[in-house]
Structure 1
Amino acid sequence: MAESMIHGWINKRIMKPEEISVMNKSDQDRLEFLSDEYGVNIVCQEKTELKDANFILLAMKPKDVEVALNGIKDKLTGNTVIVSVAAGVSIDTIQKHVGNFPVARAMPNTSAKIGKSATGVAWSKHVSLEQQHELRKLLSSIGGVTVVEEEQLHAVTGVAGSGPAYIYYFAEAMTEAAIANGLSNADAKKLVRQTFAGAAEMLQQEDFAELRKKVTSPNGTTAAGLNSLAENNFKEIVNQCVTSAAERSKELGKEFK
């Protein structure tokens, strides 16, 4: 996720590579790859770069957040906003480890790499209006931003954070079905890719249900396909999918207090 965001910021020229510094727990090879690939800096052992940082992005597994915070809290200044993309870890939990610093939680997705992320964000009362503006500017450069209440980030995680994987899985299934119905692998993938790309553009222009109705002629081929989805409880399956991801986000938050 962090790499996708870095790629997006540099590609959109919202930040220069030399304005970004990276660090992690122990993977030096990964840090050197990011430095070579994007031209970003590697945080020195003394972590002096943290004192001048406007934003510190926490992009690790929830179980690693505590160790990360304990490793940087003595280097922070009051003007630094901690931005966490760790699923489920609450603002209160982060502040228990670092104090009343400005803290924001964001849930982007990996489409940030191409500037198409769907990102939800919530922030603590300690984040100033100016900091909110700057953070929205940063996140807007990698896609669309929706400001929500913190509790709603679980739903954002289930829909937007994990959402691309559902779509990729659906694309896999459509490709396999196309091949089973006689198309070559190459032709199936080409048709599925363009179908998703075209539909994604149309979704930006009209109501979802109206788009579906316009494609669906009575007793036609589309109706037959949609009837099969309905008969197999497609909407309930999707609901269970999103709800399961949202519930897992809540569970992750409870694991780290």
Structure 2
Amino acid sequence: MKTITFIGNGNMALSIAKGLKERYKLEVIGRDLEKLNKFEDEVGVEIEKILLEDSDIEGKTVMLCVKPANVEEIAARVKGRAKVIYSVLAGTTVQKIKHNLNPYAVVRSMPNLAASVGRSMTTLTGDDSYKDEAKELLGAIGSTLWLGSEKELDIATGLAGSGPAYLTLIAEALADGAVKQGMKRADAMATMRGLFAGFGELIQEIHPALLKDGVMSPGGTTAAGYGALEDGNVRASCMNAIEQAYKKAIELSK
């Protein structure tokens, strides 16, 4: 069974590890043994735990899951030259990773927290020779899409990478709206969850505009609610969210 070496043990590393644990042997490099033990417990399988000062990534397949600002520190402390580094670091270029960690190859990836349930939407770019391996590896945690440039991946970071946070805002707000009108909180939450589960299936096959047209009757309840969303500039705010996230990714790359 192939080994994947994680550098970092935060939330994204945990989500990916949960998705990979059935197909790969895992090891994790970190600063604190207690946190590494907790990481192992939360993943739910035995993992080889390595302290950063004792680490050697020579010839290994590495999943880099640290904060972008910590790349230089990690590079100064880790030994060896990785076979390939799969980076999940927002805004951190292939060139920066190669310059600091000197791997044989780099693939940038942008999964999201749905990796923990095997439903991540992961965008990829980097060394073309690892395109197939990258899609197979990250395909273990959901859908993958190989993009032609780092610019596109930075844009996708704002959409698929950050998107779950945006959708949580929408989900909570919709449930709050139902409660405001008199629905019990538990019932509003159950209804909202059912809505998202069904919509997630429909959007795979049907264009958003067609879905909207299919449910919006002239002068009906949906038209009234949709008009309220337009009055609140929800469309413009969503587009602006992608723009601001993309700009932040570019800022992080400098």
TM-score (norm 1): 0.88
Contact 2:85 2:103 in 1 (8 A): no
Q: Unmatched 5+ residue regions in structure 2?
A: 1-11
Q: Secondary structure at the match of 2:218?
A: coil
Amino acid at match of 1:97: N
Q: Secondary structure at the match of 1:153?
A: helix
Distance (Å, rounded) in 2 between the aligned partners of 1:153 and 1:139: 15
Distance (Å, rounded) in 1 between the aligned partners of 2:103 and 2:68: 20
* Cα deviation, residue 38, structure 1: 2.6
Distance (Å, rounded) in 2 between the aligned partners of 1:211 and 1:177: 22
Identity score, percent: 32
Amino acid at match of 2:64: L
Contact 2:111 2:122 in 1 (8 A): yes
Give the match for residue 102 of structure 2.
99
Give the match for residue 207 of structure 2.
207
Answering whether residue 73 of structure 2 is matched by residue 67 of structure 1, we say yes
Give the match for residue 14 of structure 1.
23
Summarize deviations over 1:30-78 as a string: whole Å, max 9, x none. 1011223331110255324x2242x111101111111112222x4125x
Q: Secondary structure at the match of 2:54?
A: coil
* Cα deviation, residue 161, structure 1: 0.3
Distance (Å, rounded) in 2 between the aligned partners of 1:135 and 1:237: 33
Q: Secondary structure at the match of 1:20?
A: strand
Contact 1:84 1:105 in 2 (8 A): yes
* Cα deviation, residue 231, structure 1: 2.0
Distance (Å, rounded) in 1 between the aligned partners of 2:32 and 2:189: 36
Answering whether residue 55 of structure 2 is matched by residue 47 of structure 1, we say yes
* Cα deviation, residue 205, structure 1: 2.1
* Cα deviation, residue 123, structure 1: 0.8
* Cα deviation, residue 232, structure 1: 2.1
Give the match for residue 36 of structure 2.
31
Distance (Å, rounded) in 2 between the aligned partners of 1:189 and 1:252: 36
Alignment of 1:149-188 (within 5 A): 149-188=149-188
Summarize deviations over 1:62-114 as a string: whole Å, max 9, x none. 11111112222x4125xx10111111010111111233620111000000011
* Cα deviation, residue 163, structure 1: 0.1
Alignment of 1:87-126 (within 5 A): 87-99=90-102, 101-124=104-127
Distance (Å, rounded) in 2 between the aligned partners of 1:99 and 1:167: 37
Give the match for residue 4 of structure 2.
none
Contact 2:88 2:110 in 1 (8 A): yes
Q: Identify the range of structure 1 (148-157 vs 215-224) with the bigger mean alpha-carbon deviation.
A: 148-157
Distance (Å, rounded) in 2 between the aligned partners of 1:46 and 1:237: 47
Summarize deviations over 1:207-237 as a string: whole Å, max 9, x none. 1111110000010000001111112222111
Distance (Å, rounded) in 1 between the aligned partners of 2:86 and 2:72: 14
Answering whether residue 132 of structure 2 is matched by residue 133 of structure 1, we say yes
* Cα deviation, residue 141, structure 1: 1.2
Higher relative contact order (CA 8 A, sep 6+): 1
Q: Identify the range of structure 1 (216-225 vs 88-97) with the bigger mean alpha-carbon deviation.
A: 88-97
The structure 1 segments of at least 4 consecutive aligned residues displaced by more than 3 Å after TM superposition are: none
Contact 1:58 1:65 in 2 (8 A): no
Summarize deviations over 1:104-148 as a string: whole Å, max 9, x none. 110000000111101111113xx52xx332221011111111111
Distance (Å, rounded) in 2 between the aligned partners of 1:153 and 1:161: 10
Counterpart among 86, 89, 95 of residue 86 in structure 1 = 89
